[in-house]
Amino acid sequence: MSDISFGTARRHVLGLGCERGTPPAEVLALAVEALEAVGIGADELAAIASIGSRRQEAAILAVVRHFAVPVVFFDAPRLERETPRLKNPSAVVFARVGCHGVAEAAALAAIGDDAELVLGKIKSPRATAAVARGGLRKA
C-alpha cells in the first residue's frame, strides 16, 4: 500500500497509462472523461497512479499538476500482481511493458486490498485511464 491518505471525500485514484510523447491535452481530456463517467469531482480524487516508466512523462505530470494531488508510480512486477482484479487485462500491454494493464492495475495498487474498480479502462488514441475506489473496509 502507498502513503496516500484516504478520507471520507477523497477515496478515488485515477490510474493512467500512455505512450511516450502523448500530448498532455489528450491525457488530461481522458482523465476528465474518466472522472465524469463515474460522476466524481476533482475534490474526490486522492491520487493519480501509473507505471514507473512514465515517472517523467510530461502528459502524466500535467494531469497531476491540473488536479493538484499526489502521484504514485509502480514497477511492472507490482502492477502484474493486480492482474486477477483487472477488468481488461491485455497480452499486448504485457508484451510491451511487462504487466497485463497499467491504468487499472495502478489505480488498484495505489489503494490496496480494499480497492475496487469503479471504471474499467477507457482509451483515447494514445492513453488509458481507470478509476478505483478505496476505503471500503472499516478499520
pTM above 0.95, yes or no: no
Report domain extents, the chain.
12-133
Q: Which residue has the cell 483487472?
A: 86
C-alpha cell recorded at residue 85: 482484479
Which CATH fold would you assign to the domain 12-133? Nucleotidyltransferase; domain 5 (3.30.420)
Give the 3-state secondary structure of residue 95.
helix
User: Using 50, 70 and 90 to split pLDDT, how confident is the model at 10?
Assistant: confident
pLDDT digits (tens, 9 = 90+) for 28-87: 999 999 999 999 999 999 999 999 999 999 999 999 999 999 999 999 999 999 999 999
C-alpha cell recorded at residue 78: 507490482
